[in-house]
Amino acid sequence: MKKAAVFFTIGFRMIKRSTALILYSGGIDSTTALFLALNSYEQVQALSFDYGQRHKIELSLARRLTRRLRIPHAVLKVDLRQVGGSALTDVSIPLPGFRPCENCAADIPVTYVPFRNGIFLSLAAAWAEARGFADIVCGFNAIDSPNYPDTRGPFVRAMERAIDRGTGARLKGCPIRIITPFLRMRKSQIIRKGLRLGADYSYSISCYSGNEVPCGRCSSCQFRQRAWREVGTTDHLLVRLRKEGKL
């Protein structure tokens, strides 16, 4: 099937955007972004980060899916344990239990890693510029994680402006864009979008505990369970784990 061309308007010219770098964590949102890009771009590459996260299992499963899809996949190391301040990089900070978003306080969750997405986008921009990728596609979502400051629209726009001014891509007539198609979508809506695109979520990991089998207790597991219930379909990950005798 012929992929739809992605175009970007600059001045009075139309520039075809045929290449995309996917910020790929291996979770639900970034997996959907990956399949969206596969349906939209001629050339796609996935970029993940080994940042000292306690749930590093997401990286090995991300590799399994990209190998199955025959997509180039790179992993950059940046140890954010040295920064600290998050339950995802400091095992002395306990993981939070589930709180519905409507009951969340305005404070920033302990699972927020200080400026993580800013760091990732900076590295992704350097990677994209060095290899000629036009778009950076991200699965950022501000609905199910409303208190994360680095998933919001103003943050994304500010980072795009910084990348535009700090890279040579603009001078070559093809500035790098940050594409965030799911910013204002609920996770169940994202999953439905992915299912229409043929997404395989059987290797996607959301659990913060660090195990392939989800704990079912952490906030990320609870959000994922709720989303699949709203979709009305069994989670692909659970289907695979049962087939492999791991559940």
Q: What structural domains and CATH numbers belong to the chain?
A: 6-200 (3.40.50.620)
Alpha helices in the chain (DSSP H): 28-38, 57-69, 116-131, 153-166, 187-196, 219-231, 236-243
3-state secondary structure of 19: strand
- Could you tell me what percentage of the chain is helix, strand and coil, using 3-state DSSP and rounding each to the nearest 5? 40, 15, 45
What phi, psi does 107 have (nearest 5°)?
Answer: -75, 155
Pairing state between β 43-50 and 19-23: parallel
How many degrees, rounded to 5, is the angle at CA 133 between CA 9 and CA 198? 90
Name residue, tokens 């175009």.
7
Residue-wise pLDDT for 184-220, tens only, equals 999 999 999 999 999 999 999 999 988 999 999 988 8
Q: Structure pTM?
A: 0.90
Beta bridge partners of 75: 48
What is the pLDDT, as a whole number, of residue 6?
53
Q: What pLDDT was estimated at residue 1? A: 46
pLDDT in tens, the chain (247 residues): 446 545 443 333 333 469 999 999 999 999 999 999 999 999 999 999 999 999 899 999 999 999 999 999 999 999 999 999 999 999 999 987 755 554 555 678 899 999 999 999 999 999 999 999 999 999 999 887 668 899 999 999 999 999 999 999 888 888 999 999 999 999 999 999 999 999 999 999 999 988 999 999 988 899 999 999 999 999 999 999 999 999 9
